[in-house]
Amino acid sequence: MTDLRDFYQEIILDHYRKPRNFSPLESATCQARGHNPLCGDRVEVYLHIDTGVVREISFQGAGCAISTASASLMTEAVKGMTLVEACALFDSFHDMMTGTGEASDPIDLGKLEALSGVRQIPIRVKCATLAWHTLKAALEESNNNTAASISTE
Amino acid sequence: MSIEAETPIHRRPSVFDVTCVRLDFPALQQIIHKEPLAYLDNAASAQKPTTVIDALSAAYTFNYSNVHRGVHTLSQRATDAYEGAREIAQRFLGASRAEEVVFVRGTTEGINLVAQSFVRPRIEAGDEILISELEHHSNIVPWQMVCQQTGARLRVVPITDRGEVDLDVYADSLSQRTAIVAVSHVSNSLGTINPVRKMVELAKQHGIPTLIDGAQAAPHLSLDVGNLGCDFYTVSGHKLFGPTGIGVLYGRLDRLEEMEPYQGGGEMIRSVTFESTEYNSPPHKFEAGTPHIAGAIGLAAAMAYVEGLGLDAIEAYEKKLLKYVTRRLEELPEVRLIGTADEKAAVVSFLVDGVHAHDVGTILDQKGIAVRVGHHCAQPVMDRFGVPATARASFAFYNTIQEADRLVDGIEYVLEVFGR
């Protein structure tokens, strides 16, 4: 890596210090819990889904700058999306982090691009994707109506 | 050729010269992210001196064959080297006989061996296994397994806010029901040196056997299991500047003799028929299968190297390092030390205000400084202090005051990146 500033961009530090949508959601229709045993990060993602649209989304947890900022930016991006769009965003974000090129229909990641530098430090990719895997588990819970829990290990 | 000649003790001048010592470790000569490597992750695993690397190479190049079975020259050489390694380990640990030294994969296997072969057959439902709150997972989980298998209970002696075992509670916890006391000599996450001699003495007053997890002690402290009086003591080679996959379990001979075998197979038998098998005597009874021959030889080379430097000199030097780095870190208002026991090995676990340990680790790495971040395989310790993770700088005798300064500079850079 050439410069740590590429990694810890201002937008990441801003979302770490002041995470958006950082609270439980009383009206949640589904939720999931994520855990990264490597660093002890925990995140809980709450969704209020109505007629196939994510009306509200929030998260809670304790984590590093990367995982917290990723979760915060995720909630901003996903709010108002249809379930199909949210799943497509997950695929595109996952693709950016892992470089697998599996997203069939990549979409513009906007502010989330700030996290692209994380790919240069493979051990930290799990930090950035923890909230996203938790989101996916919550979305699956909304389909199955069962409580979900994921681990990055 | 005698083993002593192959793994000589390198006598050095009485003054500890870290510049000279560092030259023995090729890994320390590297540049990481354009900075000289400052390797401060020794509690996870230590770097290897050339003498260990050469011993491994020689074991495979010239003296390799299986042990205890061949009549040919190479097998004899390999056997001599392997059993010679046992004698060096015996001397290093202060055991009275080589038969008391069992080669295992590491501390984890040493503890599992004692749990399954010594404790499990002797323990009954309602009995207790006594450990402390600062144990590594490897000195928790094997006992939980025995508890599940037998209905015994795991009892945990708490630690104080400074990270010291509460000795009063410990003394009160010893009873007729205590099947074994299993505690670490030095805490991997906090650096606390436990008063194991006192703890063993108290246990002995009740006739309770003791196992000491010496994984973190062996690289820092002079060991003498005879003087300590414990029944079992176990160490890992890789933390002691030796190879991975090899370690030693010391067991008092009468204990080893009364124990069940750990695994069945070759090496551990005297005679086998389909009707019955007669087991070999200790230590071979516990070394089923072809052992890690080169690993044992490499470990012996590491032990001889450490002895050559002198553990008294190492202790004195590391004490200076610990004192210095502790003082420097205490000068930073944003840093909180976790684990402030009076007696500590050169390990500093810390939190940086407003910055997660994982971010601290990544930024320090970019400065060429290797530290461990996370729960250090001691999640109950993290829970005790109410933190998900810490950053940990663990020093070895090859680390320097300059590296301690770089750690402090690195933390200041972390604060700069996070705009504090």
pLDDT tens digits for range B146-195: 999 999 999 999 999 999 999 999 999 999 999 999 999 999 999 999 99
**CB–CB contacts below 8 A, A to B:** 49
What is d(CA B240, CA B159) in angstroms, rounded to the nearest whole number? Answer: 26
DSSP state of A41: E
Helices in B212-310 by DSSP H: which ranges?
225-228, 253-258, 293-309
Closest CA to B193 of B170, B221, B156, B168: B221
Q: For chain A, which residues make up each domain, given as ranges?
A: 4-143
Closest CA to A45 of A32, A56, A36, A35: A32
Length of chain A: 153
Specify whether B314 is located in the same domain as B299: no
Give one word for B44, left, alpha or beta, with left for phi > 0 and alpha for psi -120 to 50: alpha
Specify whether B336 is located in the same domain as B392: yes
**What's the helix, strand, coil split of chain A in %, to 5?**
50, 20, 30
**Helix H or strand E encompassing B315:** helix B311-330
Closest CA to B51 of B397, B308, B298: B298
Question: Any idea what the CATH number is for the domain that residue B198 is in?
Answer: 3.40.640.10
Check residue A39 and give its pLDDT: 72
Which residues in chain A have Cβ-Cβ distances shorter than 8 Å to B417? 4-5, 8
B415 at the A interface (CB within 8 A)?
no
The alpha carbon of residue B173 and the mean position of all alpha carbons in its chain are separated, in whole angstroms, by 26
As for how many domains chain B has, the answer is 2
- Quick check: B113 and B104 in contact, CB under 8 A? yes
A34, two tokens: 């994520």
Of B308, B330, B347, the residue that ends a domain is B308
Instruction: Quick: pLDDT tens for B205-219.
Output: 999 999 999 999 999
**What range does the domain containing B21 cover?**
3-48+310-417
Question: From the candidates B349, B358, B417, which should be mutated to test the interface with A, based on the most A CB atoms within 10 A?
Answer: B358
Instruction: Quick: pLDDT tens for B58-74.
Output: 999 999 999 998 889 99
The residue with tokens 């939190």 is: B351
Percent with pLDDT over 70 in chain B: 96
Of B308, B337, B360, the residue that ends a domain is B308
Residue A1 has pLDDT above 70, yes or no: no
The residue with tokens 């061996």 is: B113
Specify whether B274 is located in the same domain as B303: yes
What is d(CA B144, CA B133) in angstroms, rounded to the nearest whole number? Answer: 14
A29 three-state secondary structure: coil
Specify whether B228 is located in the same domain as B345: no
Based on the residue annotation, tell me whether B20 is a catalytic residue of this protein: no
Residues of A near B (Cβ–Cβ under 8 Å) read 1, 4-5, 7-8, 13, 17, 38-42, 62-66, 68, 121, 124, 127
Question: What burial letters (b/e) apply to B155-183, b meaning 16+ CB within 10 Å?
Answer: bbbebeeebbbeeeebeebbeebbbbbbb
Q: What is the mean pLDDT of residues A6-23?
A: 94
Specify whether B249 is located in the same domain as B326: no
Which residues in chain B have Cβ-Cβ distances shorter than 8 Å to A65? 355-356, 359, 418
Specify whether B397 is located in the same domain as B269: no
Of B258, B284, B308, the residue that ends a domain is B308
Instruction: Quick: pLDDT tens for A72-125.
Output: 999 999 999 999 999 999 999 999 998 876 666 667 889 999 999 898 888 899
Check residue A106 and give its pLDDT: 67
- CB nearest A40 (choices: B359, B374, B419): B374
B376 at the A interface (CB within 8 A)?
no
The ipTM estimated for the assembled molecules is 0.86
Question: Any idea what the CATH number is for the domain that residue B44 is in?
Answer: 3.90.1150.10
Respond yes or no on whether the N-terminal peptide bond of residue B283 is cis (omega within 30° of 0): yes
Specify whether B101 is located in the same domain as B203: yes
Specify whether B338 is located in the same domain as B223: no
| Amino acid type, A34 | G
Which residues in chain A have Cβ-Cβ distances shorter than 8 Å to B357? 39, 64
B273, two tokens: 């028929």
- CB nearest A127 (choices: B355, B358, B417): B358
DSSP state of A62: E
- Quick check: B139 and B184 in contact, CB under 8 A? yes
- CB nearest A40 (choices: B363, B382, B419): B382
Interchain pair A8, B417: CB under 8 A: yes
| Amino acid type, B265 | G
Specify whether B63 is located in the same domain as B182: yes
Which residues in chain B have Cβ-Cβ distances shorter than 8 Å to A38? 374
DSSP state of A53: E
What is d(CA B226, CA B391) in angstroms, rounded to the nearest whole number? Answer: 36
CATH no. for A4-143: 3.90.1010.10
Specify whether B280 is located in the same domain as B386: no
Kindly identify which residue of chain B lies nearest to residue A63, measuring between CA atoms: B356
